Amino acid sequence: MNKQQQELLDEAYEKYADSHFKPPSNPKGKLLSDQLFSVVPIEHSKESFINTCKTNPKFSKKWGLKIEERELSLEERSFIANSNHYEVAQNIKMFVGVNEDHTLHKLLDDNNVPTKQITLTYNDKTITSYE
C-alpha cells in the first residue's frame, strides 16, 4: 500500500483503538474506580483489524473502512505496461494476437508490472494503488 493509504489505515485503526476507552461511570463519585476512564481489551491488532475489514462487510461498515483487493487481468496489466514502460510496450506488441499468455505473464512479471489493485475508502476518501 502506498503512503496515503497507510495514513488512512492508521487513522481508522486509531479510531477503533480509541473506542475502547470508556468514560467514568460516576465522575464525581466517592470511589476512585468510578471516577477513572476504563479500557475494554482490544480484540484486534492492526493487522487483524485490516484483515477483518477486508473480509467482514459488517465490521468494515461499522468502522467506515472499506478495503478491496483484486487481481489485475492480463489486459489490465498490459495496459499499465503500455502506459508506463516504453520498452515493455514494444515487447508486448509482439505478443498481440499470439496465444502465449505464459510468455506475456513472464514478460510483465520480469518488468515488475503490478498484479493487484488495492482500493481503500475511509471517510469518503478513496485511494487506489497497484502492487
34-84 pLDDT, tens per residue? 878 787 888 899 999 999 999 999 999 999 999 999 999 888 888 887 776
- Is the predicted pLDDT of residue 113 greater than 90, yes or no? no
Residue 116 within a domain: no
- Is the predicted pLDDT of residue 7 greater than 70, yes or no? yes
Write out the residue range of the structural domain in which residue 56 sits.
Answer: 1-68
Provide the grid cell at 32: 476512585
How many alpha carbons fall within 13 Å on the CB side of residue 25? 7
pLDDT tens digits along 10-40 = 999 999 998 888 888 888 888 887 878 787 8
Residue 51 within a domain: yes
Residue 46 within a domain: yes
Distance CA 66, CA 56 (A): 10
Would strands 116-122 and 125-130 be described as parallel, antiparallel, or unpaired? antiparallel
CA torsion angle for 45, 51, 53, 56 (degrees, to 10)?
-120
pTM of structure:
0.73
Residue 129 within a domain: no
